[in-house]
Structure 1
Amino acid sequence: MQITYQFRLYPTPEQEERMIRTLILCRKLYNRAKEQRDTVYNQDGKTVTYAKQQNELPAFKKEFPEYKEVHSQVLQDCLRRLDDAYQRFFRGDAGFPHYKSADRYLSPLHTLSLVR
């Protein structure tokens, strides 16, 4: 048996804004990583792995300084979510991964009604 705990957050307006900004940046990273995978596959017929994209994160953060405010493990989790979506597709458990719009990138923040 697995026990889970739920916590309700009451963020200040500044904290709420930072959480929303983090979510937006994660969604953009997810879409950029998917675009990279699609482009490389269409051009070269090769796949881009999670490890390769993870190793590119430091250079990505230098190119896009707004990502420096997001913890590295959060960014890695975004890439892991994309990789999991592709793994489920190749196993036949799910459809082909799609780009995520603002209302389709789910996170715990959605349960707090912070995403507008």
Structure 2
Amino acid sequence: MSTWLARLDLHHARHAIDMAQRFGERGNEGWARCLLGDLALTGGTTATGHAEARHHYRAALAIAGRLGMRPLHAHCLRGLVRLNHTAGSPSIAEKQRAAVDQRFRELNMKPWPGGM
């Protein structure tokens, strides 16, 4: 992804969070935070990027838990698996991946192309 496109995506995701908070749309805030986690993870392999991704995934997980949004929960868990794999904890990621794969099957969801 090009740098300018990544910045544009970040801008739109942050704007989505602002709007969701303004209008009390917690579910939309959760999805936007999950997207920010994905963007932070995709944007680089720095410790700062990893911390930012973890923060957004955990915030989205909290929202998903409160609202019972199981698909969002599954996507955030998948993001955390990718994060652990990228951050140098592949053994932890593999253990988590089995649980995430099971969650996707329970929801009749297919993982996106390319896997975790």
Structure with greater helix share of residues? 2
Tell me the TM-score normalized by structure 1. 0.31
Tell me the TM-score normalized by structure 2. 0.31
